[in-house]
Structure 1
Amino acid sequence: MILGTTPADRADRAMLVSTVEAAVDRIDPADGRSERVDRDGPFDRDLWALLSGEVGIGALAVPEDRGGLGASFADVAAVLAVLGAELSRVPYLSAVVATAALTDAPASAVADDHLGRIAAGRTIVTTVVPTADTDVDFRADGTGDTVVLTGTASFVVDALGADVVLVFASSPNGVTGLYAVAAEALSRAPMPTTDATRGLSTVTADRAPAVLVDPNASISRLRDRALVALACDSLGVARRTLDDAVGYAGSRVQFGRAVGGFQAVKHRLAEAAVALELAETAVAHAVWAVEAGSDHDLAEAAAIAAIVCGEAASRTTADNVQVHGGIGFTWEHTAHRYYRRALTNAVLWGSGDDHAQRLYELTADGQARVDPDTVPRPAVALSS
């Protein structure tokens, strides 16, 4: 199912997108961005202060009754795509995932306090996202206000700049819960990464004090929400790099004609455009699944979006490098930075093969649950 929107919704969303784009252009314009990435690293504090404080993008996904704006996930997805298109070095992906985890948790003073701070732009919260339901790397000991966590996890997004880290941990009786841990109580070591615009870290807890946020947290549901958010980021990357490639192909003249007129180039770009259309559709379906679908719908839509958007971003970023020719291979050009983001997105929280296997299992499970007596039979026998 594809998400439907009214003209008013689209107009409001376009205004939101324009506001975010203007904010990025004000603080982190495209000119000189590569130099700023190399100089300042994967976190632009000035841009985040503007986006989370004045623009208020952190409040979009937080329900109104818990201190936020209660916007639709379609609005959140649009912002994620814009920030992906700009390779913005802000912890919005982390904020969206953490908000999903805290919103699904039972209402409590701890959860509501974190949600309110995220909405106001006063706190950066990240989440250790397991790649499988059984992949819980932390152990919780103790009860009540004396719980401590022990364990290690890698590939944690935005951990270095976070104030709070949400962690899935199993208790001695085998129950998995979601815990909030002050980042200063954890050891956080930056990981060498392909993508310099997104920080990844190894997080270690050695009997770190923690607070239980959700005693019955669903790892699979949170991972699906995280995959949808990541797919939106990849969609933005694919859009921008295809636009860049088409623009360059139409203006670069070789042998007396624009290179976009050569068959090898235009066929490459046409195939990339098809991949982008598939990604647009996959994200639209995933947004619907987040807002109105069942957990099974969300799981299928998340797997599809992860596969399709990952492939689209990988294709368009590689094509962008190729279409730009020699200049596209230089460190000074931004093409390689988009290619690196696509490479990272394609394996963060699971590879394409992982998502394809899960989609197969979900489909097989769905077929197993169908009552054969309810399946319509053809009116006539099929000939052999």
Structure 2
Amino acid sequence: MILSSAAGAEDTALLVDTIRAAVGRTDPADGRSERVYRDGPVDHDLWSVLGREVGVGALAVPESFGGLGTSYATVAAVLETLGAELTRVPVLGGVVAAGTLARCPEHPLAGDLLTGIAAGTRIVATVIPGDGLDSPGEGILRADDTDGAVTLTGTVHFVLDADIADTVLVHAVDRRGALGLYAVERTDLRVERMETTDATRSLARLEAAAAPATLLTDRPEPARVRDLALVALACDSLGVARACLDAAVGYAKERIQFGRLIGEFQAIKHMLAEVAVAVELADSAVAHAAWAIEEGTDHDLAEAAAIAALTCGDAAGLASATNIQVHGGIGFTWEHTAHLYYRRALSSSVLWGTADDHAQRLYRLATGRSDREGGTPSSEPAREAATALSATEA
């Protein structure tokens, strides 16, 4: 690991430059589309560099477990950078897992997992619970305890990095209705990689059939786990949005049509200005969410996560679509990376809830209602999310 500390704006900028240089050597933009569809949604060579040599996995891990314990602002900058480069490495999932495990450090296994994440030698995936936290089916399994042996049963879909993970964290309900956070080894699960819209991200279906598990804590915080996941995903989406804006602006400054740079046309100017405003709003939302994680209350984090998810998801969708438009014919080609950014934005916008879900949750938080007072949600957002995640090219 070449990092010894990563505190302050200067160190964060140096870290970001280091990551960009590593990505440029291992997974340069030229030919990236071909490599994505040839090698799949995991770049093992790049992960070896970023995880073990650079040590990005250690950023979100407390120092007591071999990590760097950096501020979330630094973590956010790294996630944004990785999103901007469409990296196929399990850093986003590792950040969520580290934040989850850090809340139960008294368990020996949790400490071992944190140490492995920091060293880049262990990949830990997390099943993100849904809004319906009372029953299995929303990212929550069933736990059975027979003579002291705990097993999990159930099926969950769209689990990030599950097919390459060593260990999976999952919430489960026992026969008494008590919720707990469990760790289960991937080898004890049936794992099937799903073919999804986004070819740069690994999502899988997990099936547990009396899988041996270890209870990490009987006082889990599923809402916080979900909020941490939403903020991390928002950072990734901000990177996508900023990269698409930069690409579109750069192309508009060099493409000549009808004897003029296309950036001089009012229509193009207005499109790019709209994206620029959306990116700035997303940047502010991420900064607020980073503050909420470190200093805010649970309510502050819930609001900030919903705002960041909504704002960054919209910004990434608008920026990636505009990028394709500005590039014109070349933006629609298979060889160009524009469609990869669009697919990443589309997948992220529904991965752990749709924009409508986040807006409704924000309304309930702002009006003082609990999530369970909001009524029964429509099945349309669920169908929309499944379609966006599962759709494949014809």
| TM-score over 0.5 for the pair | yes
Runs of 4+ in structure 1 deviating by more than 3 angstroms, as ranges, are: none
Cα pair 2:323 2:331 within 8 Å, conserved: yes
**Structural RMSD (CA):** 1.3
Task: Return the match for 1:280 from 256, 262, 283.
Answer: 283
Cα pair 1:145 1:211 within 8 Å, conserved: no
Task: Return the match for 1:297 from 290, 297, 300.
Answer: 300
- Residue 166 of structure 2 corresponds to 163
> CA offsets, 1:231-259, max 9 Å, x none?
00000000000000000001000011100
- Residue 15 of structure 1 corresponds to 14
Aligned-residue offset at 1:366 = 7.6
- Residue 355 of structure 2 corresponds to 352
1:68 matches 2:67: yes
| TM-score with structure 2 setting the length | 0.90
Q: Describe how 1:248-263 pairs up with structure 2 within 5 A.
A: 248-263=251-266
Distance 2:345 2:356 in 1: 16
1:240 matches 2:239: no
Q: Describe how 1:295-374 pairs up with structure 2 within 5 A.
A: 295-365=298-368
- Residue 97 of structure 2 corresponds to 98
Distance 2:143 2:256 in 1: 63
Distance 1:78 1:211 in 2: 33
Gaps in structure 2 of 5+ consecutive residues: 1-6, 371-394
- Residue 376 of structure 1 corresponds to none
Task: Return the match for 2:198 from 191, 195, 198.
Answer: 195
Greater CA drift, 133-142 or 48-57: 133-142
Amino acid at match of 1:88: T
Distance 1:143 1:105, change over 3 A: farther
Distance 2:147 2:118 in 1: 27
- Report the number of matched residues: 360
> CA offsets, 1:250-294, max 9 Å, x none?
100001110010011010000100000000000000000011100
Task: Return the match for 2:217 from 214, 219, 223.
Answer: 214
Greater CA drift, 124-133 or 225-234: 124-133
Amino acid at match of 1:99: A
Gaps in structure 1 of 5+ consecutive residues: 1-7, 368-384
Distance 1:144 1:54 in 2: 44
> CA offsets, 1:128-187, max 9 Å, x none?
101212334310001685100000000101111111010110011111111000001100
Identity of aligned residues (%): 61
- Residue 374 of structure 1 corresponds to none
| TM-score with structure 1 setting the length | 0.92
> CA offsets, 1:56-76, max 9 Å, x none?
000111011122111111111
Distance 2:103 2:352 in 1: 20
